[in-house]
């Protein structure tokens, strides 16, 4: 099909807009990498933008040789994996029953779930609740309270709605129960949406630090993002008499190296799940 001149012009405009958006997203990351690898003097003179000036790996060496940060990185990876598995299980177990029209209280459950998307009790009631049930200052507090996203549940429920009813009905005729139907039919057909939601949950869990900040006091269970948060605050308030940091340039380099240390692992996940991303979201919106 031959495109008209206006169609070609529209394609060029869209491509240009996409290019600008890509630049807006990628330039800050390139700048952080350049600043983390630059000499402190070059940073203080403001000479670093996209390319490092006076290559310096001291900041990375400092971060990578600190057992506190390497352990926190490993612990955050474990938390992310456990959190994704738990969240996908919870999302599936809530979304699947809601596709049955004969489920008693189905409308009430939907309304109650959606209500929590707009209204929340806040941090203090959550603190009192977690303290009352014994989760406060224990590592499960980083997993259980936020293991379910209603938005993600709605996506999965919509995807389940898109599965032909005839498949479920034929399985029911053969004597399969709801659990067997879920395991044998719905889950195998839900690879794309499960991968997409896994990415959502993984990014959310990896970047989260407020739950540990409010509800955790044991430093060995701090996720990497909380350590990064504490590091940035400490470097901003550091005493010049301390031996840790001597110049503002070194402080800035260490900040950028710590940011990259906490960012790169989650960036490596995107290429593996990117092909499922658009498919999962669009399929989940076909019906329902």
Fill in the DSSP letter of residue 284: T
Q: DSSP code of 246? A: -
Name residues of the chain where pLDDT drops below 70: 1-3, 235-250, 273-288
pLDDT value at position 146? 86
Which of 83, 108, 32 minimizes the C-alpha distance to 199? 83
> Residue 280: what pLDDT?
53
CATH architecture under which domain 64-283 falls:
Orthogonal Bundle (1.10)
pLDDT at 273: 65
- CA dihedral (152, 207, 214, 64) positive or negative: positive
What integer pLDDT is reported at residue 25 of this predicted model? 85
Q: Are 109 and 98 in contact (CB under 8 A)?
A: yes
- Condensed to tens digits (0 to 9), the pLDDT of residues 41-64 reads 777 777 778 888 878 788 788 878
Task: Please report, for the chain, the start and end positions of each structural domain, with discontinuous segments joined by +.
Answer: 64-283
């Amino acid at each position: 099909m031959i495109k008209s001149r206006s169609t070609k012009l529209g394609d060029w405009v869209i491509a240009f807009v996409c290019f600008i958006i890509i630049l807006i997203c990628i330039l800050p990351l390139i700048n952080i990498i350049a600043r983390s690898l630059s000499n402190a003097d070059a940073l203080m003179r403001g000479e670093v933008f996209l390319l490092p000036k006076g290559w310096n790996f001291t900041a990375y060496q400092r971060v990578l040789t600190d057992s506190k940060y390497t352990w926190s990185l490993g612990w955050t990876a474990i938390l992310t994996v456990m959190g994704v598995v738990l969240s996908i299980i919870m999302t599936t177990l809530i979304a699947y029953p809601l596709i049955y029209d004969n489920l008693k209280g189905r409308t009430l459950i939907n309304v109650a779930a959606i209500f929590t998307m707009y209204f929340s009790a806040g941090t203090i009631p959550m603190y009192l609740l977690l303290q009352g049930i014994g989760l406060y200052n224990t590592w499960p507090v980083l997993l259980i309270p936020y293991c379910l996203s209603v938005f993600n549940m709605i996506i999965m429920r919509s995807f389940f709605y898109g599965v032909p009813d005839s498949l479920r009905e034929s399985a029911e005729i053969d004597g399969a129960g709801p659990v067997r139907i879920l395991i044998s039919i719905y889950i195998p057909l839900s690879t794309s949406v499960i991968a997409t939601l896994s990415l959502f949950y993984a990014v959310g869990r990896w970047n989260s630090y407020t739950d540990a900040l409010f509800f955790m006091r044991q430093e060995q269970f701090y996720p990497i993002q909380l350590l990064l948060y504490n590091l940035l605050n400490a470097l901003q308030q550091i005493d010049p008499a301390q031996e840790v940091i001597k110049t503002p340039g070194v402080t800035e380099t260490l900040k950028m190296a710590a940011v990259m240390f906490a960012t790169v692992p989650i960036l490596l996940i995107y290429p593996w799940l990117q092909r499922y991303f658009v498919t999962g979201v669009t399929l989940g919106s076909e019906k329902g």
